[in-house]
Amino acid sequence: MSRRILLVNGPNLNLLGTREPDVYGTATLADVERITAEAAAAVGFEVRALQSNHEGVLVDAIHAAREDCAGIVINPGGLTHTSVVLRDALTGVALPFAEVHISDVLAREAFRHHSYLEDVAAVRVAGRGVDGYADAVRQLAALIP
């Protein structure tokens, strides 16, 4: 079995570090990728990272992951609350995945309280800032034989 995890960051996460720092902090997407890769290496995995503002690109990457990844860590951004397509891609590849949110989505606007992924995610981490990515990797890795 592959010892690789796909890290997927959805729309607007390329703006980390400058977008609403009072909500998302000052860490950048590069920081997120580094934190995730370090956490994965500590438990014997490598990471392939992708960020896109386009849903179809995310779906294609998820489909490709079934060829060489053992699991997925995903922060779907705003697609969390809108995308049945993303849910179908994740369930379709049958890889365990962790849903990550930097902010505490339940403490934010009501429309952010619903996730199309939460009931099918193996792991869910929210409100831990970018450190939540490392938490998600460790929890997901524990589920992968």
Phi and psi dihedrals of 107, rounded to 5? -95, 5
d(CA 114, CA 131): 22
Query: pLDDT value at position 13?
Result: 97
Query: pLDDT value at position 1?
Result: 62
Query: pLDDT value at position 90?
Result: 98
Query: pLDDT value at position 79?
Result: 95
Query: pLDDT value at position 114?
Result: 80
pLDDT greater than 70 at residue 107: no
Query: pLDDT value at position 57?
Result: 98
pLDDT greater than 80 at residue 113: no
Query: pLDDT value at position 128?
Result: 95
For the segment 7-36, the average pLDDT, to the nearest whole number, is 93
pTM score: 0.93
75 is in an annotated binding site: yes
For the segment 124-141, the average pLDDT, to the nearest whole number, is 97
d(CA 131, CA 48): 18
- % residues pLDDT > 70 (the chain): 95
**Type of residue found at 126:** A
- pLDDT tens, residue by residue, 54-73: 999 999 999 999 999 999 99
Query: pLDDT value at position 4?
Result: 98
12 is in an annotated binding site: no
48 is in an annotated binding site: no
The first and second tokens of residue 68, run together, are 């060489």
* Distances in whole angstroms, Cα of residue 1 to Cα of each of 4, 36, 45, 52, 133: 9, 20, 11, 27, 22
d(CA 42, CA 38): 6
Task: Report the catalytic residues.
Answer: 24, 101
Domains of the chain: 4-143 (3.40.50.9100)
Query: pLDDT value at position 2?
Result: 81
Q: Are 55 and 9 in contact (CB under 8 A)?
A: no
104 is in an annotated binding site: no
